[in-house]
Amino acid sequence: MRYIRPLSIEDAVGELAKAVGPAAILAGGSDLLVRMKGGFIEPELIVDIKAIGGLADISETADGFRIGAAVPCAVLGEHKALKQAWPGVVEAANLIGSKQVQGRCTITGNLCNASPAADSVPALVAAGAKAVVAGPSGKRTIAVESVPTAPGRTSLAKGEIIEAILLDKRPVHAGDAYLRFIPRTEMDIAVVSAGVNLTLDDHGAIKTARVALGAAAPTVLLVKEAGQVLIGSKLDEATLERLAKICAGACRPIDDKRGTIEFRRKVAGVLAQRAAAIAYKRAGGK
């Protein structure tokens, strides 16, 4: 096994591109090291990206926020401007693992691990987040939801690295929220989860909406119909009922010891309703 710690994204991309055997990227390592210890992966090359300039930084620009791929989730929770603008995204990120894990894990790693039950991903998808991908052919920016393609698999090509996550600048009257169901009170994997992101018009009616579900299909679901049903409403009871029905119908869950298909569909609708209510209140709705 070979371990390298490049100082530039170009060097990291170059090493990954020319790697002959399995290669892995080390940002926080909270997933990678567990998988290595369990014998699920044996990389011949590990590329540690934490020393690359900018990848451990959160920067606020005129367009919004740029979150480097090596920023630990604990740091997100301490960034006041980010918490104020995107509380749902930060809350989701802060649910990953224990306090110790929070000091290492990253939302980019959570995304690239491609688990359907990842906590930060539904919130990022609902937020309309983008991923900046660096590779042998240059850089490109893609929607976060296009990264996972199946459990444990991504759309990234050989030599490609996600170097940052982008979140738009928040307009006035905007809010987001993320909720999950777990059997325990903390440090557990979501049985099902929901992220909702809303903006309101000057009269308190919903102007734009995005709804995402986690642990409800092989990848996180962006339920466009659920977002559309919210537009123009003030979250009246009938709208919330239609939201729950659409989300339950959109699910493609599995039956396992942690939850049945019927249970997951029911809870997906309930969580979407509750997350929508929280996001609506955060956006200034009454």
pLDDT in tens, 186-232: 778 899 999 999 999 999 999 999 999 999 999 999 999 999 999 99
Alpha helices in the chain (DSSP H): 9-18, 32-37, 73-77, 80-85, 87-93, 99-102, 107-112, 120-127, 224-230, 237-250, 261-282
Say yes or no: 156 and 40 in one domain: yes
| pLDDT at residue number 208 | 98
Residue 13 sits in a domain whose CATH number is 3.30.465.10
- What are the tokens at 252? 């493609």
Instruction: Please give the structure tokens belonging to residue 30.
Output: 């909270």
* 42 and 134 fall within a common domain: yes
Which residues in the chain show pLDDT less than 70? none
Contact, 85 vs 76, CB < 8 A?
Answer: no
Characterize 228-262 residue by residue with b for buried, 16 or more Cβ atoms within 10 angstroms of its Cβ, and e for exposed: ebbeebebeeebbebbbebbbebbebeeeebbeee
pTM as predicted: 0.95
- Beta-bridged to residue 67, according to DSSP, are 58, 165
Residues 162 and 204 in one domain: no
Tell me how many domains the chain contains.
2
Residue 68 burial (CB count, 10 A): 23
Do 214 and 162 lie in one domain? The reply is no
Selection from 134, 256, 106 nearest residue 192 by Cα: 256
Residue-range definition of the domain harbouring residue 38: 2-49+58-168
With beta carbons less than 8 A apart as the criterion, state whether 191 and 88 touch: no
Place of tokens 């903390």: 186
Nearest to 72 by CA among 100, 36, 48, 113: 100
- pLDDT tens digits, one per residue of 121-154: 999 999 999 999 999 999 999 999 999 999 999 9
Rounded to whole angstroms, how far apart are CA atoms 211 and 230?
10
Of 108, 139, 168, the position where a domain reaches its end is: 168
Q: Do both 186 and 164 map to the same domain? A: no
- In a shared domain, residues 195 and 276: yes
